[in-house]
Structure 1
Amino acid sequence: MKKFFFVFLLLVVSSTIPILLVMAETTPPPQVDEPISPIDSNKGVITGHADPYAKIIVTGGLYDIPPSEADENGDFSVTVALIQESGNTYFIQAENEDATPSDPIEITIIEGVAEVAEYEAETGEDRTAPDAPELNETEVETEDSAYTIVGSGEAGADVLVNNEESGEKVDSNGNFSVEVAISGGGDEEVFNIAVKDEAGNLSSNVKIYITGQGEEVEDEEDQESDNDEDEDEDETEGKDSLTDINGHWAEDYILELYNNDVIGGYGDGRFGPNDSITRAQIVKISLLAFELPTADGDENFTDVKSGDWFVDYVASASGDLGIVSGYSDNTFKPNNNVTRAEALKIILVAAGVNDFDSVTPNFTDVNTVNDWFAKYTAYAKSSGLVGGYSDGTFRGNQTITRAEVCKIVVELIDSLTSFN
């Protein structure tokens, strides 16, 4: 009886004590609009709604797609390149200020002439992109602070400059003009001109190269001797190409890999040093950094297709090289972000590091018995590849950034060998 009363009392008391569950906050997934599909075009547009100013991450397709940002109302629009005569699958995530990405939303845009012809015959809707505009000039030098681009295109279409609507339209005679600002100083600027028809179909871009010849103000550093400039040439190469790394803590690491053709930037000139890195991207970097062979890719995984830019890298890394493997459902998940632990293992294995037995130091949050990545973090700590955080932790399940990967790769190369 006493035992029963004690258990009953314990249940009553415990039911009155609030239980606090601490859960990691995640970003709500974006609401993605139904894409225009099928379509006969080189480009598609992904639109939707997310939290205001949330980072929008789109992966998939032919190329790396730079992250964008939702506006003050939460609306976003991302232009993507389409593989011709194929289904194009993209994954869209939102990311809040705490860098906690949402679950991905998957969409597919079908590009194909036959599919569009059938669709247009059934619905009467226009799904065919207009022809690319024609420009009167494609290489220009000017001393003015602005230049008017003149050309022709589909009548009634909107004129886009660098994927942004300019507010100008092609007139009824098929002609247009649009003014752009020029920075001057002898720098060549590239403007991508496209047109969008009334149905929302986008043409291909046409580039115009404009060099502003206005006066350039030199500072004292620009007036150094030719010898000093020659000595610094290798170190500064690439700075003008990557627009968002100046002053970044990983600038030197990024430039070393960039100048050795291991990494590249986004199409808009940014590198995105603080962006997360995907499984496909880190596989490519690892193979190029350590000069490993790349073979023609096979469709070994259900989510890696022959037209994907990463197919050869994934096939090589998951094949004889044994750097990565897929999942039990026969997928590779190329667009999933990589954690710090996963990245470290991939880089070390690609570099051929296998001397883990004598390594004992580790980080405070790594269990040397139960954590599968303990030997990799121990090696990284003892060799100085990774310093961890100020509290002594490694945080292996946290996503790694592009800058952090560059640092680890360069430090490892320096400790093993050097670029030829």
Structure 2
Amino acid sequence: MFLRKWMKISFVLVLFISWILPTTSWASEADESGTFTMKVSTLMPNQGDTIEVVIAGQQLTDVYAFEINLEYDPTRLTFIDAKSDVPGFSVPPSVKNSHIQLAHTKVGKGKGFEGEQSLFKLHFQAIQNGNNELTLSSVKIVDSNLGNFTKQINAKSTLTIHHPYAFDDLDSFDWAVEAIEDLASKGIVNGTGERQFSPDSAVTRADFLVLLMRALGLKGTVGQPFDDIEADAYYAQPVAIARNLGIVQGDEVNQFHPKASITREDMMVLTDRALRVSNHLTLVGDQSDLTIFEDVSLISDYAFASVATLVKIGLVHGYANQVFPQDTTNRAQAAVLIYNLLTYIK
């Protein structure tokens, strides 16, 4: 009975901390005592890892109950649980959007604890690549005489979450992360530097063709070389094989323009031809497959069937009701197309 009574009293006290006294401050020596810290188990977790966050107090005086407030990014981290090793009773965590509130009280008569104490251990799971700022915003303390004070902390830790195969420059390319990670793990795409993918950089005609040939594993005999490709260029052989297979044709003066940025419609044309040469595609799209796009008139005649076909089979989706055929292709878009292509042929 005695324990049950104090449990009820302590629960009321925690509620008192959280809701009744948010603007009240008691003048006391405790108002100047105590420091609070936040320790994170790792600042560079991999996607899927569990992260432990320890909130601790130092130089504490008569702490009977306490409330802790934290901020985090729920798109990058998933809150799992929180537990206090302090004897007493904890209120279930309150999690609203990006805010977490924790509260705990001792049970029974007597003074609160003093000195150094671990207050709460929280666990999160890293769910999305990118930077996440975890902030210990405030700690509210109630002593055994019901005196209370709130300390504004604003202690921040920045976590950089990444996949083992991810790059550090994909924060603005969430739609492409899965494709880039998968292709990188298979050696189909490479970075441009140490953990850099340069997703917004334009893709040249030669580089896209090399990527396409590598992804489909296309091999063959070397065809007639183009006049604007040096024999020792890293892309010379793949381009020559692609020409012999009928994937590329060049222009009227026997040039391929390997270093020119490839347009989205040319990317689709080469992909369409490669799929047919490798016997992965027989369907042909038409006008009805492009009705949702408002810029169909911008598609070149030679590319129209290829664009319609890739839309029909789900390799290309466009965005903002447009397919942007004349825009140049960036590395992220090329990776997504190749990823969709490999998914399709499976």
Please give the TM-score of this superposition, normalised by the length of structure 2.
0.49
Higher helix residue share: 2
Higher RCO (CA 8 Å, separation ≥ 6 residues):
2
Bigger radius of gyration: 2
